[in-house]
Amino acid sequence: MEIVFLGTGAGMPSKQRNTSSLVLNLSAEEGGYWLFDCGEATQHQLLHTTIKPRKINKIFITHLHGDHIFGLPGFLGSRSFLGGDEPLTIYGPKGIEEWIITSLKLSKTHLTYTLHFVELKEGFLFEDEHFKVETKELQHVISCFGFRIEQKPLKGKLLIEKAIEAGVPKGPLLQKLKDGHDIVLDNGKTVYSKDVTGEPQTGFTVAILGDTRFCEAAVELSKEADVVIHEATFDLETGDLAKEYGHSTIGDAANVAKKAGAHSLIANHISARFLPYHIAHLEQSGREIFQNLHIAEDFSHFEWKDDKLIKK
Amino acid sequence: MEIVFLGTGAGMPSKQRNTSSLVLNLSAEEGGYWLFDCGEATQHQLLHTTIKPRKINKIFITHLHGDHIFGLPGFLGSRSFLGGDEPLTIYGPKGIEEWIITSLKLSKTHLTYTLHFVELKEGFLFEDEHFKVETKELQHVISCFGFRIEQKPLKGKLLIEKAIEAGVPKGPLLQKLKDGHDIVLDNGKTVYSKDVTGEPQTGFTVAILGDTRFCEAAVELSKEADVVIHEATFDLETGDLAKEYGHSTIGDAANVAKKAGAHSLIANHISARFLPYHIAHLEQSGREIFQNLHIAEDFSHFEWKDDKLIKK
Ligand SMILES: [Zn+2]
Ligand SMILES: [Zn+2]
């Protein structure tokens, strides 16, 4: 699992940070590439990565503010123009479907792929073979959602030596055992999958939250998560502004991760008032509350590997 | 008069060229800053210039394709956020008003300034003290317009020595004469404005055309213009494609300028298939038809001064 930040700014683009967007790369886990929010010029940011628009198979929109959605019509058109023909699903708040349909129609943008829309409601959003995704409403000035993505437990590895010892011949029977099925050998003996496979491994959990004040829903979505991605529009000194505008300080973000017992935290949605040389201070003030904290830059690239978050 | 190209690509952004937008800087002529088209990330491009969004007082939209309009909602919001409080007028095809209003409403973008819309129809678009703007429909796959901007003749300069010779005292009477009024001196003698001012000077004419095939309307809008800005999505070798998609080759653009008896031509809307090293060839093939031709890059900056087009 990898996370690539495309836009880590707040409200407006600046020379340092674009408006909100990130890619959750679940291709190694058979989930594909999921885009979270799509501020203006998200497709431009993708040009500087190896991620092709056609690879993105799901888009999650936290809320309808322009800095989170104004890149959608252009992205959708370019995905088509660049050869995307696999279906794409957009999970977003009420209103996004109507706006996208209107925008595509007005601009005579014809898509070469099927576009599905799923309107966000609190609770389980979907579940497939590999993942379970849950959403909750956060506390912003307009309706805004956070997502909890849980990878399902992974089947134990096939212990090949044990299987051969039990008399299983090389070939398709091994795959059956690996997939959890018990088998009967030619000699009538039953070999149980659990006897020749290792322990199931727990999957990872990522919480990706939209714009919000400090709130319990953010803590719940982040409960014991391996990685929490939380906004931090303000610093500790401007906490009053944060509350007023429905945003968080770096301290709020750190407290969410701490209270949730999370493993690691990446803060994004950083106000343009913080210039590059302020960032170390911001990071330090958050780490006094929650140690394993990073502040994302545009094109920051993280990997979750061997139960650790690695900055690439 | 200056022209700053913000996006000179066709259809989609590339690393070299953004989608369509340019600024006509008429601030020295008391017209302000006029934006022509507003592809996605136009506001991002402005960050790399000295032009502030709040300075832009008119926006002209040639047609509704995404590469010409998808930057509008973000630009309008940021203009507000960055302190723009002067009214802004958008001249565009039917549909643009509804889309902008819907986009601002959905995203809860509140503007601090008044937004006016004027729906494009062939003919004179507006006329003020300094300029006359005319529009005609071109030939694209959807309704698409071009604009002819004429600066009105400038009053002749005050010939100060002649005025003093005629007995005019220093002070406000000189300004009156300069403004075209005749005056009566204390001694009863009349001084005529025409006797103490030079010849009126002709203003400049710029034609800014949207996406189009070679067409007569483009020639008419460009008639004896000082500067013509014409798309050139294709090269001479791909003329069939150009016609099919409602676009022009560099040859079509050059022929419009030639047939119109224009002074100079700047080609934009260059396909991403032409890499930087192709551009010299493209330019050369156009110049064989019309000599005074330039191909615009993003951030190309031209000035019209002393009856000449200067590349800055
Ligand atoms: Zn935001
Ligand atoms: Zn175009």
* B190 and B208 fall within a common domain: no
* DSSP assignment of A161-176: HHHHHTTPPSSHHHHH
Q: Which of A67, A226, A235, A252 is catalytic?
A: A67
pLDDT in tens, A103-128: 999 999 999 999 999 999 999 999 99
* A300 and A242 fall within a common domain: yes
Last residue of a domain, one of B139, B170, B195: B195
* B44 and B186 fall within a common domain: no
How much is the pLDDT for A179? Answer: 86
* B148 and B180 fall within a common domain: no
**Looking at the partner chain, which of B11, B14, B107 has a beta carbon nearest the beta carbon of A66?**
B107
Which listed ligand is nearest to B144 at the C-alpha?
2
Q: DSSP secondary-structure letter at A182? A: -
Q: How far is the CA of B48 from the centre of ligand 2 (A)?
A: 22
Q: What is the pLDDT along chain B (312 residues), one digit of tens a residue?
A: 999 999 999 999 999 999 999 999 999 999 999 999 999 999 999 999 999 999 999 999 999 999 999 999 999 999 999 999 999 999 999 999 999 999 999 999 999 999 999 999 999 999 999 999 999 999 999 999 999 999 999 888 889 999 999 999 988 999 899 888 999 999 999 999 999 999 888 999 999 999 999 999 999 999 999 999 999 999 998 888 898 899 999 999 999 999 999 999 999 999 999 988 899 999 999 999 999 999 999 999 999 998 999 999
Do residue A70 and residue B74 have CB atoms under 8 angstroms apart? Answer: yes
B96-106 and B72-81 helices, crossing angle to 10° = 60
CB B42 within 8 A of CB B6: yes
Number of domains in chain A: 2
- Cα A213 versus chain centre, distance: 20
* B174 and B256 fall within a common domain: no
Which of A42, A44, A54 to probe by mutation at the B interface, max B CB count within 10 Å?
A44
CATH number at residue B281: 3.60.15.10
Q: Specify the residue for token string 């030079």.
A: B198
* B110 and B232 fall within a common domain: yes
Whole-angstrom Cα distance, residue A231 to residue A209? 7
Amino acid residing at B52? K
Per-residue tokens: A259: 């209270």
What is the percent of chain A with per-residue pLDDT over 70, rounded to a whole number? 100
* A167 and A299 fall within a common domain: no
**Looking at the partner chain, which of B18, B47, B106 has a beta carbon nearest the beta carbon of A99?**
B106
Whole-angstrom Cα distance, residue A185 to residue A191? 7
Amino acid residing at A176? K
N-to-C CA span, chain A? 12
pLDDT in tens, A201-222: 899 999 999 999 999 999 999 9
* A101 and A167 fall within a common domain: no
Do residue A103 and residue B107 have CB atoms under 8 angstroms apart? Answer: no
* B17 and B144 fall within a common domain: yes
How much is the pLDDT for A203? Answer: 94
Amino acid residing at A255? N
Which residue from B minimizes the CA distance to A100? B103
pLDDT in tens, A81-99: 999 999 999 999 999 999 9
**Looking at the partner chain, which of B13, B43, B73 has a beta carbon nearest the beta carbon of A43?**
B13
Show the domain range for B176.
160-195
- With b for 16 or more beta-carbon neighbours within 10 A and e for fewer, the A75-87 pattern comes to bbbbbbbeebeee
Q: Strand locations in B152-287, DSSP E?
A: 183-184, 190-191, 205-209, 227-231, 264-268
For residue A22, what pLDDT band results from cuts at 50, 70 and 90?
A: very high
For the sheet with B293-295, list strands across it.
B123-127, B131-137, B145-151, B205-209, B227-231, B264-268, B293-295
Which of B18, B37, B46, B107 to probe by mutation at the A interface, max A CB count within 10 Å?
B107
How much is the pLDDT for B81? Answer: 95
For residue A156, what pLDDT band results from cuts at 50, 70 and 90?
A: confident
pLDDT in tens, A68-84: 999 999 999 999 999 99
* B43 and B167 fall within a common domain: no
Q: How far is the CA of A63 from the centre of ligand 1 (A)?
A: 8
Q: How far is the CA of A123 from the centre of ligand 1 (A)?
A: 23
Which residues of B lie inside 8 Å of A (Cβ-Cβ)?
11-15, 18-19, 40-41, 43-44, 47-48, 64-67, 69-71, 73-74, 77-78, 81-82, 95, 98-99, 102-103, 106-109, 141-142
Nearest residue to B108 (alpha-carbon basis) of A229, A65, A245, A304: A65
Amino acid residing at A273? R
**Looking at the partner chain, which of B71, B82, B99 has a beta carbon nearest the beta carbon of A40?**
B71
* B185 and B134 fall within a common domain: no
Q: Does residue A85 have an active-site annotation?
A: no
Interface A-B, measured as beta-carbon pairs within 8 A, has a size of: 101
Nearest residue to A60 (alpha-carbon basis) of A90, A95, A33, A30: A90
Q: How far is the CA of A215 from the centre of ligand 2 (A)?
A: 45
* A77 and A167 fall within a common domain: no
How much is the pLDDT for B238? Answer: 86
In this model, does residue A241 exceed pLDDT 90?
no
H/E stretch holding A78 reads helix A72-81
- Residue A82 C-alpha, separation from nearest chain B C-alpha, in angstroms: 10
Tell me the ipTM for this assembly.
Answer: 0.91
The backbone region for A171, taken as left when phi is positive above 0, alpha when psi lies in -120 to 50, beta otherwise, is left
Q: Enter the pTM of the model.
A: 0.92
Which residue from B minimizes the CA distance to A142? B108
Nearest residue to A153 (alpha-carbon basis) of A201, A224, A197: A201
Which listed ligand is nearest to B9 at the C-alpha?
2
